[in-house]
Amino acid sequence: MSFAAVRTPSRASSSKTPEPFRRNDRYDRIDHRASQDDDDDDDDVVEVVRSPLTFASPEIKALSTLRGSELYRDITRPVDVGLALQVRLAKDPPRIRPELEAMRLLDFFIAYVQERELGNLGLDVVNEHASSVSEVIPPWDFVWVDDYIIDPSLKHVREIEPLDKVNGYALTDELVANGGCNCPDDECDPRTCECVRRANRCYPFVDAYYQRMLNGDDGVDKSKPTGDFNFIYDAYGRIHPDVPAGEPIFECNKNCSCSSACHNRVVQKGRKVPLAFHKTESKGWGIKTLQNLKRGTFVGAYGGELLSDTEAERRAEIYERELGTTYLQDVDNHIIKVHLTRQILERKLAESGKLDDYRGSAAKERKMVEYVTRVANLIEFYDEYMKVHVVASGDTELQEAEQRRSDGKPASRQDKDAFRRQRGAALQRARQVAERERQRLRRLDPTKTFPDEYDEDELADPGWRFLSLDDPDLQQEIVVMANERSEMEDELRLTVDSALMGNYTRFFNHSCDPNLLHVPTYIDDASILRPLLAFFTSREVAAGEELCFSYAGEAAAVDQDDLPASSPQSPAKPARRSRTAMHPPAAKPGRDTVAAVTASAQDAARAATTKHKRLEIKCACGAKNCTGRVFF
Ligand SMILES: C[S@@+](CC[C@H](N)C(=O)[O-])C[C@H]1O[C@@H](n2cnc3c(N)ncnc32)[C@H](O)[C@@H]1O
């Protein structure tokens, strides 16, 4: 850590509102106060304070093994030149015509961005809040990458080993065959395109969109009109309005015979809408759209270094402690969860010699899908129950009973009482939620009538869904599988770090009422574990609006009323979980949920005050439903 003698900044004391600054504005609007203040006669007051760490600091740069490597020397160099210019202007602002220096920096930056964007639209810079020459552009301390740069230590990610056979059975491993499609035309026909079938096979779980394999023998009924078998995109390259939020995307790719004219190639062609870097009033830099956007429009994909969970945790602590911010994004989607659930179930079936009953024909495969879907849903209900009912309840008896259940210990009479008590509370809660929903529907249609009793679909509270399982053995089995899946997720989870390498999407800020969501997208890379995180608009966005997503994950981002009706197999809407979350604080609970519950109950007070372990940034999104916090 370095210490330097610096003068107390007097610029901060000025309360004058800075003039707006735009690329084509006259540059003499830049506030020169920093340099003028240097003339103040307080030269004798020299304080020794720690120089602020930035992403350009050697300590932070050292986190990236790639940034300094030969391989990346060429893409790193322009950044370092730009950064040097920016830092020099910050430290030693020119006293004569600073606007010329500002213009030079701005033009240099815009040209750099234009070049990285590979002939796409480039990005403008809109800055109404520049207060010094160096602030006319965003901090230029990252290398531009649009893809994932895989940390060399992630050997298991680069070369995925097939899973060991169990009882003579080969299990479905991490890879999904990506042979591409053989469509005869430049533009694929979704009824016959192999990429649709691949999507069908990879993700027939939970939501209706890819459940076609449950209806036809090979998943695609060629007699049906094209309309029933669309790609996920419409003719304009936007996600179809009837696609459930967060549904994974499988694009045609380098293995396919179709050309770039194919409708099933959107993310890979890059952004087609004009955006701008935008200096916000209180959230640092952000990104805004310069044109009206329809719902489902692609606006960018997260790029950066792909890290293991361990490395991400290590970096999270350093970023949080030293910089008070983070650019870590977990790759933690529903598709990964169901895939791991499938592996657990296949292993169990293989051990008991029953796996043949679930593979080998379309009918048997359908049985497997139904089984995986049911168990994946129950695990989700259990996880949600633990989060909402157990952690939040403060009921130590219930927490201890759940801890014993998780440890596989038999339930005592006291434990059973605690479960029964909670079951009653969950039912009451589920009824209240159902009643509110009925009232909402009645407001929309006053003629609507309902039976006296709430039906199963209405009682969708996840706590109730888990606790109402009348089979304690099944409940116990779900708890064991939930823990097993958590451990697998811990081991396999990948995180994208765009602190040192990334693109403009690293500037998307958080909002509690977001207009973006990110969608797992598979293109050339077939690995289920590392989809690209592609950002799409979740509603119409007006020109000039800032583009934001929810750092808490997609569940918070999706207006539940916007979702299409659930399929018979899908979980009820309130049970939908976060699909992807901004990397949580370094002190996030371990994956053994129950142990985490107990720990967090005991450590609650300490956790709340240990700043370096928990980033606490006051949310400035300004939304009506703002929770007041950026990280969760
Ligand atoms: C991924 S970065 C986003 C880009 C960032 N604004 C910048 O200038 O580099 C996340 C950081 O942005 C800021 N931020 C994002 N959303 C915010 C919000 N709603 N309110 C306040 N600060 C926010 C926080 O400092 C957070 O640590």
Q: What is the residue extent of each domain of the chain?
A: 3-144
What is the position in ligand 1's atom list of the atom closest to the CA of 507? 4
Of 112-121, 166-175, 331-340, 582-591, give the range with the top mean pLDDT. 331-340
Q: Whose CA is nearest to atom 1 of ligand 1?
A: 327
**pLDDT tens digits, 317-333:** 899 888 888 899 989 88
Q: What is the mean pLDDT of residues 467-495?
A: 91
* List of E strands, 376-424: none
Q: What SS3 class is residue 175?
A: strand
29 token code pair: 């609007």
Q: Quick check: 11 pLDDT over 50? A: no
Q: What per-residue confidence (pLDDT) applies to 275?
A: 95
Of 112-121, 194-203, 514-523, give the range with the top mean pLDDT. 514-523
* 29 CA distance to ligand 1 middle (Å): 26
With a cut of 0.90, is the ipTM above it?
yes
* Short-list 529, 564, 532, 522, CA closest to 199: 522
Q: What percent of the chain has pLDDT over 70?
A: 76
Q: N- to C-terminal Cα distance for the chain? A: 29
**pLDDT tens digits, 289-307:** 999 999 999 999 999 999 9
CB distance 183 to 258 below 8 Å: yes
Q: Quick check: 196 pLDDT over 90? A: no
Burial class of residue 617, CB neighbours in 10 A (0-12, 13-18, 19+)? middle
What is the position in ligand 1's atom list of the atom closest to the CA of 285? 8
Pocket test for ligand 1, best of 277, 278, 283, 504 (most atoms within 8 A of CB): 283
Give the integer Cα–Cα distance in Å for 241 and 98: 49
* 166 CA distance to ligand 1 middle (Å): 47
Q: Quick check: 213 pLDDT over 70? A: no
Ligand 1 site residues (CB inside 6 A) read: 283-286, 325-327, 506-507, 509-511, 617, 619-621, 630
Q: Whose CA is nearest to atom 11 of ligand 1?
A: 325
Instruction: Supply the mean pLDDT for the chain.
Output: 78
* 282 CA distance to ligand 1 middle (Å): 9
Pocket test for ligand 1, best of 617, 625, 626, 632 (most atoms within 8 A of CB): 617
- Burial of 33-64, coded b for 16+ CB within 10 Å and e otherwise, reads bbbebeeeeeeeeeeeeeeebbbbbeebbebb
* 631 CA distance to ligand 1 middle (Å): 10
Contacts of 390 (CB under 8 A, 6+ apart): 398, 399, 402, 422, 597
Confidence tier at 175 by pLDDT (50, 70, 90): low
What is the position in ligand 1's atom list of the atom closest to the CA of 620? 20
What is the position in ligand 1's atom list of the atom closest to the CA of 327? 1
Confidence tier at 580 by pLDDT (50, 70, 90): very low
Give the integer Cα–Cα distance in Å for 67 and 56: 11
167 token code pair: 């009882």
Give the integer Cα–Cα distance in Å for 520 and 528: 9
Q: Quick check: 39 pLDDT over 90? A: no
Distances in whole angstroms, Cα of residue 543 to Cα of each of 299, 403, 490, 538: 13, 51, 40, 15
**388 compared with 240, residue with greater pLDDT:** 240
Q: Whose CA is nearest to atom 27 of ligand 1?
A: 325
**560 compared with 194, residue with greater pLDDT:** 194
